Structure 1
Amino acid sequence: MKKRKVDVSKNLDTPERQKDFIGKAIASGDADAIRDALGLVARKRGMTDIATATNLNRESLYRSLGSGGNPEFATVMKVMKALGLRLSIALDKATSSRTGRGRSSA
Protein backbone atom coordinates (compact mmCIF):
# COMPACT_ATOMS: atom_id res chain seq x y z
CA MET A 1 0.00 0.00 0.00
CA LYS A 2 1.29 3.47 -0.92
CA LYS A 3 1.75 6.05 1.80
CA ARG A 4 -0.09 9.26 1.11
CA LYS A 5 1.81 12.43 1.67
CA VAL A 6 0.01 14.68 4.13
CA ASP A 7 -0.19 18.36 3.24
CA VAL A 8 0.57 19.91 6.62
CA SER A 9 0.15 23.43 5.23
CA LYS A 10 -3.65 22.94 5.09
CA ASN A 11 -3.66 23.06 8.90
CA LEU A 12 -1.56 26.23 9.00
CA ASP A 13 -4.43 28.54 8.14
CA THR A 14 -4.06 30.95 11.08
CA PRO A 15 -1.10 32.82 12.58
CA GLU A 16 -1.73 30.99 15.88
CA ARG A 17 -1.44 27.56 14.24
CA GLN A 18 1.64 28.71 12.34
CA LYS A 19 3.21 29.91 15.60
CA ASP A 20 2.46 26.59 17.30
CA PHE A 21 3.91 24.63 14.36
CA ILE A 22 7.16 26.61 14.37
CA GLY A 23 7.27 26.49 18.18
CA LYS A 24 7.09 22.68 18.16
CA ALA A 25 9.92 22.57 15.64
CA ILE A 26 12.04 24.87 17.82
CA ALA A 27 11.23 22.81 20.92
CA SER A 28 12.43 19.68 19.10
CA GLY A 29 15.91 21.17 18.84
CA ASP A 30 16.19 19.76 15.30
CA ALA A 31 17.70 22.43 13.02
CA ASP A 32 16.26 20.77 9.89
CA ALA A 33 12.77 20.71 11.41
CA ILE A 34 13.05 24.40 12.30
CA ARG A 35 14.21 25.29 8.79
CA ASP A 36 11.43 23.21 7.24
CA ALA A 37 8.74 24.73 9.49
CA LEU A 38 9.89 28.27 8.75
CA GLY A 39 9.99 27.50 5.04
CA LEU A 40 6.53 25.97 5.02
CA VAL A 41 4.97 28.87 6.88
CA ALA A 42 6.85 31.43 4.75
CA ARG A 43 5.52 29.77 1.60
CA LYS A 44 2.03 29.67 3.10
CA ARG A 45 2.20 33.41 3.82
CA GLY A 46 3.79 34.17 0.45
CA MET A 47 7.53 34.04 -0.11
CA THR A 48 7.46 37.27 -2.12
CA ASP A 49 5.92 39.13 0.83
CA ILE A 50 8.44 37.56 3.25
CA ALA A 51 11.33 38.47 0.93
CA THR A 52 10.10 42.06 0.75
CA ALA A 53 9.66 42.29 4.54
CA THR A 54 13.13 40.86 5.18
CA ASN A 55 14.83 42.74 2.37
CA LEU A 56 16.22 39.40 1.15
CA ASN A 57 16.16 37.83 -2.30
CA ARG A 58 13.14 35.57 -2.82
CA GLU A 59 15.08 32.85 -4.64
CA SER A 60 17.73 32.92 -1.94
CA LEU A 61 15.04 32.47 0.71
CA TYR A 62 13.60 29.48 -1.16
CA ARG A 63 17.06 27.88 -1.21
CA SER A 64 17.84 28.71 2.43
CA LEU A 65 14.49 27.51 3.76
CA GLY A 66 14.13 24.56 1.41
CA SER A 67 15.20 20.97 1.91
CA GLY A 68 18.95 20.86 2.40
CA GLY A 69 19.17 24.61 2.97
CA ASN A 70 21.29 26.04 5.74
CA PRO A 71 20.01 29.54 6.56
CA GLU A 72 22.18 31.90 8.56
CA PHE A 73 20.87 32.73 12.00
CA ALA A 74 20.32 36.34 10.88
CA THR A 75 18.09 35.07 8.08
CA VAL A 76 16.08 32.93 10.51
CA MET A 77 15.58 35.94 12.76
CA LYS A 78 14.51 38.18 9.85
CA VAL A 79 12.00 35.57 8.65
CA MET A 80 10.60 35.15 12.15
CA LYS A 81 10.18 38.90 12.48
CA ALA A 82 8.47 39.07 9.08
CA LEU A 83 6.09 36.34 10.29
CA GLY A 84 5.31 38.38 13.40
CA LEU A 85 7.19 36.01 15.69
CA ARG A 86 9.98 36.50 18.18
CA LEU A 87 12.41 34.08 19.70
CA SER A 88 12.32 33.70 23.47
CA ILE A 89 14.14 31.51 25.92
CA ALA A 90 13.03 29.33 28.80
CA LEU A 91 14.92 27.21 31.27
CA ASP A 92 14.80 23.50 30.45
CA LYS A 93 14.36 22.16 33.97
CA ALA A 94 15.32 18.59 33.04
CA THR A 95 18.60 19.68 31.47
CA SER A 96 19.46 22.34 34.05
CA SER A 97 19.08 19.89 36.92
CA ARG A 98 21.57 17.52 35.28
CA THR A 99 24.15 20.21 34.55
CA GLY A 100 24.95 21.48 38.01
CA ARG A 101 21.83 23.22 39.33
CA GLY A 102 22.55 26.61 37.89
CA ARG A 103 26.32 26.74 38.46
CA SER A 104 28.12 28.74 35.81
CA SER A 105 30.36 26.73 33.51
CA ALA A 106 32.11 29.82 32.15
Structure 2
Amino acid sequence: MAIVLKQWDIQDHLKTEEDMALYLDACFDEAGDDPVFIAKVLGDIAKARSMTQLAQDTGLGRENLYKALSGEGNPSFGTILKVIHALGLKLQVKTIGKESV
Protein backbone atom coordinates (compact mmCIF):
# COMPACT_ATOMS: atom_id res chain seq x y z
CA MET A 1 0.00 0.00 0.00
CA ALA A 2 1.46 3.37 -1.06
CA ILE A 3 1.55 6.26 1.37
CA VAL A 4 0.29 9.50 -0.11
CA LEU A 5 1.85 12.59 1.39
CA LYS A 6 0.67 16.16 1.01
CA GLN A 7 3.15 19.02 1.11
CA TRP A 8 2.67 20.95 4.36
CA ASP A 9 1.91 24.63 3.85
CA ILE A 10 1.60 27.11 6.74
CA GLN A 11 -0.95 29.11 4.77
CA ASP A 12 -3.44 26.26 5.20
CA HIS A 13 -3.23 26.77 8.98
CA LEU A 14 -3.48 30.57 9.18
CA LYS A 15 -7.26 30.84 9.32
CA THR A 16 -7.82 33.57 11.92
CA GLU A 17 -6.12 36.79 12.98
CA GLU A 18 -5.19 35.04 16.22
CA ASP A 19 -3.48 32.24 14.25
CA MET A 20 -1.52 34.85 12.31
CA ALA A 21 -0.54 36.81 15.41
CA LEU A 22 0.61 33.69 17.25
CA TYR A 23 2.61 32.52 14.23
CA LEU A 24 4.33 35.91 13.86
CA ASP A 25 5.03 36.09 17.60
CA ALA A 26 6.58 32.60 17.61
CA CYS A 27 8.67 33.47 14.59
CA PHE A 28 9.97 36.64 16.25
CA ASP A 29 11.15 34.38 19.09
CA GLU A 30 12.91 32.07 16.63
CA ALA A 31 14.27 34.67 14.18
CA GLY A 32 17.01 36.08 16.34
CA ASP A 33 18.57 38.84 14.25
CA ASP A 34 17.32 37.54 10.90
CA PRO A 35 15.09 40.15 9.21
CA VAL A 36 14.74 37.98 6.10
CA PHE A 37 13.04 35.31 8.20
CA ILE A 38 10.48 37.84 9.47
CA ALA A 39 9.86 39.19 5.96
CA LYS A 40 9.19 35.62 4.75
CA VAL A 41 6.80 35.00 7.65
CA LEU A 42 4.90 38.18 6.79
CA GLY A 43 4.77 36.88 3.21
CA ASP A 44 3.20 33.63 4.45
CA ILE A 45 0.58 35.58 6.38
CA ALA A 46 -0.06 37.92 3.44
CA LYS A 47 -0.61 34.99 1.06
CA ALA A 48 -2.98 33.34 3.53
CA ARG A 49 -4.96 36.60 3.67
CA SER A 50 -4.77 37.92 0.09
CA MET A 51 -1.75 39.55 -1.44
CA THR A 52 -4.02 41.55 -3.77
CA GLN A 53 -5.98 42.98 -0.83
CA LEU A 54 -2.74 43.69 1.03
CA ALA A 55 -1.43 45.62 -1.98
CA GLN A 56 -4.58 47.74 -1.99
CA ASP A 57 -4.45 48.30 1.78
CA THR A 58 -0.78 49.32 1.81
CA GLY A 59 -0.73 51.24 -1.47
CA LEU A 60 2.22 49.11 -2.57
CA GLY A 61 2.42 47.09 -5.78
CA ARG A 62 1.45 43.43 -5.56
CA GLU A 63 4.57 42.28 -7.42
CA ASN A 64 6.76 44.43 -5.16
CA LEU A 65 5.13 42.89 -2.09
CA TYR A 66 5.69 39.36 -3.40
CA LYS A 67 9.36 40.15 -3.93
CA ALA A 68 9.83 42.03 -0.64
CA LEU A 69 8.12 39.30 1.42
CA SER A 70 9.58 36.30 -0.39
CA GLY A 71 12.66 35.95 1.77
CA GLU A 72 14.69 37.04 -1.26
CA GLY A 73 13.91 40.76 -1.03
CA ASN A 74 15.10 43.42 1.35
CA PRO A 75 12.04 45.41 2.41
CA SER A 76 12.42 48.69 4.24
CA PHE A 77 11.25 48.94 7.82
CA GLY A 78 8.53 51.28 6.56
CA THR A 79 7.24 48.54 4.26
CA ILE A 80 7.27 46.03 7.12
CA LEU A 81 5.28 48.42 9.31
CA LYS A 82 2.74 49.08 6.52
CA VAL A 83 2.29 45.35 6.00
CA ILE A 84 1.89 44.60 9.70
CA HIS A 85 -0.68 47.38 10.07
CA ALA A 86 -2.59 46.34 6.94
CA LEU A 87 -2.75 42.76 8.23
CA GLY A 88 -4.45 44.04 11.37
CA LEU A 89 -1.47 43.16 13.54
CA LYS A 90 0.50 45.25 16.02
CA LEU A 91 4.09 45.09 17.18
CA GLN A 92 4.66 45.23 20.91
CA VAL A 93 7.91 45.71 22.75
CA LYS A 94 8.85 43.83 25.88
CA THR A 95 12.03 43.45 27.85
CA ILE A 96 14.00 40.27 27.45
CA GLY A 97 15.17 40.14 31.06
CA LYS A 98 18.92 40.11 30.53
CA GLU A 99 20.87 39.29 33.66
CA SER A 100 23.21 42.00 34.92
CA VAL A 101 26.88 41.17 34.63
Determine the structure 2 residue equivalent to 1:17.
19
Larger Rg: 1
* Equivalent in 78, 85, 88 of residue 82 of structure 2: 78
Aligned residues, how many? 95
Q: Higher relative contact order by CA 8 Å / sep ≥ 6: 1 or 2?
A: 2
- RMSD value, Cα: 1.6
Determine the structure 1 residue equivalent to 2:67.
63
Q: Quick one: distance in 1 between partners of 2:8 and 2:21?
A: 19
The TM-score with structure 2 as length reference comes to: 0.85
Paired-residue identity, %? 35
Runs of at least 5 residues in structure 1 that lack an aligned partner in the other structure: 101-106
The TM-score with structure 1 as length reference comes to: 0.81
CA contact (8 A) 2:24 2:41 kept: yes
In the alignment, does 2:45 pair up with 1:41? yes
Which residue identity lines up with residue 67 of structure 2 in the other structure? R
| 4+ residue runs over 4 A deviation | none
Q: Quick one: distance in 2 between partners of 1:21 and 1:44?
A: 12
